[in-house]
Amino acid sequence: MKPISSRRARAIVVALAAGSLALTACSKNDGGDSGADSKKDQKEASVQSKAVTYADAAGSTGPAAEVPGAKPGGTINVYQEAGLSHLDPGQIYVSDAGQVANLLFRRLTQFKEDDKGNVSVVGDLATDSGKSSDGGKTWTFTLKDGVKDQNGNAITSADIRHTVERQYAKFIFDGPTYLQTWLSGSDYRKALPNGGFDGKHLPDTVLATPDDKTVVFHFDTARPDLPQTLAMAGYAVVPAKGDTKEKYDKAPVATGPYKIVSNKVGKELVLAKNTNWDPKTDSVRHQYANGFDFQFGITESTQTKRLIADQGEDKNAIQLTGGVEATQIQDVIGNAAVSKRTVKGYQPYVMQLTFNLDRVKDLKVRQAITYAVNSKSLIAGEGGAYGGDVAPNYFAPTLPGYEATYDPYGRLKMPQGNIAKAKEILKGVPAAEKKVVFAYSNSEAGQKRKVAIEDALTKVGFNVVSKEVDSASYYEQIGKLNNPYDLYITGWGQDWPSAATVITPIYDGTQVADGSSNYSHVKDPKVDALIKKALTQDPTAAAATWKEAQHYLLEKVLPAAPLWYTKQFQLSGSNIGGARYGSVSSLIDINRLFVKS
């Protein structure tokens, strides 16, 4: 899953599955100095990975356990720099919209985290996490009674069918594609070109809805990760009644505890209680606050200053996906009263300088840039040890198969960049190939990254032409096949703890298309063969294949230069209760917040 394009990440990080993430390493709200010891943080991120369990009906029955001290009332103010790129669930694959989706939308399954960091997959719209048969090729879900949308319409299996089939429509281009490709192959759109809006449907041999309460998925191979996949915000239900296709992005129908009452795109999003949400059907969410007021266009530095000062309405405020601004970190950790209002934790993202291989075709150029980039400078802009650690490869510490010492470009030894090595590689490279167009987000973080990239590449002889991109649509712009950029910083975190959710979505040659996450446009037969092989293997054998794929990609193809692993360090107002680091979102756990008074 991709993070937002500003400093901090994820996304709906739907980051869990068998062998999963429980990012409690730095999640204690204790005001300590967690984050300053990178090796300790990475070790804990790995050690504390716990297996995710699949819950039965009892574990999926609401209401959710009460948050200690919680009380109803009040409005929570939410500060964010960039506006939301999407509100249509089918288009959501980024952390900021994913956080909002937790409040607005329900899906067949959902992740549930207890107070000890244990995570399970529970039934959300479904009565349980699903029942598999036929060796894992068939999955059956039964819908709960009493689930309605904001307009009072009961959610039925027809709505689930509609939700799945609309993903095949061309106007859905920015969300996850796991389910569609599993059901209908990489050219899934051909199976249902109009997304079911013309009355045509997927055959019952693929997706069956024998009655109003039953949904059956049929795959051509075992899909043990399906319950995690369906927990992604991108697969949240879109009721058939009220689906306005392209217009749905602005005014979606809520099924969660809150609904939209006002949406001034890029400026403000106001949520109020959804009176048709029944807590007895929901084992994860709460409805403590009367509403949420999302305010966009507020820079991280302004957010931090206001939350440190803790005056007036700022007492009732949180940061959405942004974090404590780098230059103000010492002001936070040096003040015990402020520091105790933070949440901290390791994220699953690896930030990379991605090469557009359609434009940067010379491997020597990519190698020189990889040696030249200054991870130390970039991390300083993120907040130093509180913002991230040097990344020597494409796998994060939170991912099974992580290799802490695999460092083919000497990033750990020379995090500031190896200028001499880069210059040596560039000898003989034509001047025309030394001109590169770098796309950066028009946010505070984007500006810092721009300076760091320009400085590093200029030192070795590159002519860097920087182009500003709107931060709200950043991933949409660089996701266009014919984009006019050579380089851009991207981030990716696993959708659940498997290298399959890292290598496949960003390096699979069959996924080179507009809106795809293959931002480098890699089409390599060996990579594709290794992906195909790993997807048919048991987890132990697959781990070795994913390792081989990473080594080949990084050493022979080099679609991106690894830069840093991300951490989260967020601040909230003194009147916010229930704040904790959420290992599922890798952000403040928005499902359990309340206003103290």
For 246-284, the pLDDT digits (tens) are 999 999 999 999 999 999 999 999 999 999 999 999 999
Nearest CA among 90, 9, 6 for reference residue 396: 9
Contacts (Cβ under 8 Å, ≥6 apart) of 220? 137
For 460-505, the pLDDT digits (tens) are 999 999 999 999 899 999 999 999 999 999 999 888 878 999 999 9
Question: Cα(310)–Cα(553) distance, rounded to whole angstroms?
Answer: 47
Q: What is the average per-residue pLDDT within 573-583?
A: 95
pTM, entire model: 0.82
For the record, the structure tokens of 65 come out as: 């356990």
pLDDT digits (tens, 9 = 90+) for 125-134: 999 999 999 9
Q: Strand 576-577 relative to strand 463-469: parallel, antiparallel, unpaired?
A: unpaired
334 three-state secondary structure: coil
Q: What is the pLDDT of residues 498-521, one digit of tens each?
A: 899 999 999 999 989 898 899 999
Q: Is pLDDT at 121 greater than 60 in this prediction?
A: yes
- What's the pLDDT band for 42 if we cut at 50, 70, 90? low
| Pairing mode, strands 131-133 and 138-142 | antiparallel
Per-residue pLDDT tens over the stretch 323-361: 999 899 999 999 999 999 999 988 889 999 999 999 999
How high is the pLDDT of residue 44?
54
Quickly tell me which residue has 């931060």 as its tokens: 471
Read off φ and ψ for residue 344, nearest 5 degrees.
Answer: -140, 150
**If we measure between CA atoms, which residue out of 143, 139, 99, 103 comes closest to residue 123?**
143
108 and 230 Cβ atoms separated by less than 8 Å:
yes
Per-residue pLDDT band at 537 (split at 50, 70, 90): confident
- Dig out the tokens for 229 from the structure: 């996949």
Task: Give the C-alpha separation, 492 to 351, whole Å.
Answer: 7
pLDDT at 8 over 80: no
| Banded model confidence at residue 32, pLDDT cuts 50, 70, 90 | very low
Helix (H) or strand (E) holding 150: none
Residue 34 pLDDT level (bands cut at 50, 70, 90)? very low
CA atoms within 13 Å, Cβ hemisphere of 17: 24
Report helix, strand or coil for 592.
helix
Structure tokens, 49: 């990975």
- Tell me how far apart the alpha carbons of residues 77 and 294 are, in angstroms, rounded to a whole number: 6
**Average pLDDT value for residue range 1-21:** 37
SS3 562: strand
Rounded mean pLDDT of the chain? Answer: 90
pLDDT beyond 90 at 38: no
**Burial (CB count <10 Å: 0-12, 13-18, 19+), residue 230:** buried
Give yes or no for residue 430 having a pLDDT over 60.
yes
* Residue partners of 188: CB distance under 8 A and separation at least 6: 168, 177, 180, 181
Cβ(351)–Cβ(566) below 8 Å = yes
Residue 143's SS3 state is strand
User: Residue 523 and residue 526: Cα distance in Å, rounded?
Assistant: 9
Q: What is the 3-state secondary structure (H, E, C) of 431-495?
A: HHHHEEEEEEECCHHHHHHHHHHHHHHHHCCCEEEEEEECHHHHHHHHCCCCCCCCEEEEEEECC
